[in-house]
A = this chain, B = another copy of it.
């Protein structure tokens, strides 16, 4: 079953490189580790795919036809949707200036070719491990406990049963208390980018959560979205 983009979902990786061989080697190695991988052959393709696929990590070759990696990174970083997306540069240029510039553009790492697939995989794992620190185990906010692994909500000692979408929606909002999640963000995270559902669907689930929790911890921000607060 595909859990789409949900809380404990398989991480999605986009690789962009103009050399098919490299693309294939990296793709193979990352897929072997259990990641979901898509590839792009140039900068423009990378940007399109990033929007559609909504990856957790993007590996960008610096020298590509069309838009180069740094340009792609700049364009993506301007959009809030890709704020949390990890970016690793990959390049044959073993040049200090380029590397520094790449990192300052907002990348999370910089590797020089030829790159060992094992090292790449290790770095990818390390990055996800670091970023995922907060997603582990139970999430506790006040009297509310959310166990992402066991799919259990507990409020003031009482277990509350939520349906899957309800659970994922609550887990998302509670993951960053106070942050206002745009309706689009919610759709992407809970429903995935491919499914298309109406706006009322979110409302209804929000309502059910409020009802079952019997506690108004979810605040509506009109024209913007919803946020969780105790």
> Could you say which residues of chain B place their CB within 8 Å of the CB of A180?
149-151
Residue A56 at the B interface, CB < 8 A? Answer: no
- Of B84, B119, B147, B178, the residue contacting A100 (CB under 8 A) is B119
> Could you say which residues of chain B place their CB within 8 Å of the CB of A200?
none
- Of B103, B109, B125, B179, the residue contacting A125 (CB under 8 A) is B103
Contact indicator A126/B108 (Cβ below 8 Å): yes
Residue A222 at the B interface, CB < 8 A? Answer: yes
Chain B's closest residue to A130 (CB) is: B108
Q: Enumerate A121-139 residues with CB–CB distance to B below 8 Å.
A: 122-123, 125-127, 129-131, 133, 136
Chain B's closest residue to A147 (CB) is: B178
> Could you say which residues of chain B place their CB within 8 Å of the CB of A84?
133
- Of B86, B127, B164, B221, the residue contacting A223 (CB under 8 A) is B164
- Of B122, B147, B227, the residue contacting A151 (CB under 8 A) is B227
9 contacts between A and B (CB under 8 A): A96-B119, A107-B126, A130-B131, A149-B178, A150-B178, A150-B179, A150-B227, A152-B178, A164-B222
